């Protein structure tokens, strides 16, 4: 069965819903903060032209989700399901970014838990590709139980090939 990649997911703090082209302004308002991308391999994503390509790719992927603060209804970031591999029975979760005021307060953990609970109904393994030097994301992955696969993979980021590690979380 093909995974549902644009569900509506609701937790205590957040609501995730399918991203639409109309989300551009609100998502760019969050993404235009250079500190959001400071340790990310795509450290230039705060720039409008770079973010536009990222945003358009997310919409085209059919798996982009816009994240809202349930209490205020405000858009606070985005995440995505993509790169479904039927043969490996896995899908990638990633491309996540959040407004800084939601860092370290459990919001990301709730988002990932909602996404994992949903996608594990369809696939055995969720994978997360994280820049080798992206300490913030690597710590977050470890907090939610991600296990690093051996080796690295290169991905084009900010105009150069950058090494990434792959974390996995298998269905319980």
Beta bridge partners of 156: 161
Alpha helices for the chain (secondary structure H): 24-31, 48-61, 107-119, 135-143
Q: Residue 79 corresponds to which tokens in the numbers above?
A: 């995440």
Find out whether 125 and 88 touch, Cβ atoms under 8 Å: yes
Q: How many CB atoms lie within 10 A of CB 54?
A: 18
d(CA 155, CA 131): 9
Residue 1 confidence (pLDDT): 80
Q: What is the pLDDT along the chain (172 residues), one digit of tens a residue?
A: 899 999 999 999 999 999 999 999 999 999 999 999 998 888 899 999 999 999 999 999 999 999 999 999 999 999 999 999 999 999 999 999 999 999 999 999 999 999 999 999 999 999 999 999 888 899 999 999 999 999 999 988 777 788 999 999 999 8
Residue 43 confidence (pLDDT): 85
Residue 126 confidence (pLDDT): 98
Q: Closest Cα to residue 141, out of 88, 93, 90?
A: 93
Residue 147 confidence (pLDDT): 96
Residue 157 confidence (pLDDT): 77
Residue 80 confidence (pLDDT): 97
Domains of the chain: 9-123 (3.40.630.30)
d(CA 155, CA 51): 17
Residue 86 confidence (pLDDT): 96
Q: 168: Cβ–Cβ under 8 A, 6 or more apart, which residues?
A: 90, 125, 126, 127, 128, 146, 147, 149
Q: What is the pLDDT of residues 27-45, one digit of tens each?
A: 999 999 999 999 888 889 9
d(CA 98, CA 66): 10
């Amino acid at each position: 069965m093909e995974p549902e990649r644009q569900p509506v997911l609701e937790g205590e703090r957040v609501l995730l819903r399918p991203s639409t082209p109309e989300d551009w302004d609100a998502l760019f308002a969050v993404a235009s903060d250079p500190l959001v991308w400071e340790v990310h391999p795509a450290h230039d994503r705060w720039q409008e032209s770079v973010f536009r390509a990222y945003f358009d790719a997310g919409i085209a992927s059919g798996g982009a989700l816009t994240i809202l603060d349930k209490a205020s209804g405000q858009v606070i970031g985005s995440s995505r399901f993509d790169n479904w591999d039927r043969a490996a029975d896995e899908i990638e979760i990633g491309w996540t970014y959040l407004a800084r005021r939601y860092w370290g307060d459990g919001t990301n953990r709730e988002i990932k838990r909602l996404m994992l609970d949903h996608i594990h109904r369809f696939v055995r393994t969720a994978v997360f590709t994280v820049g080798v030097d992206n300490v913030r994301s690597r710590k977050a992955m470890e907090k939610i139980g991600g296990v690093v696969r051996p080796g690295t993979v290169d991905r084009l980021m900010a105009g150069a090939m950058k090494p990434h590690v792959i974390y996995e979380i298998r269905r319980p």
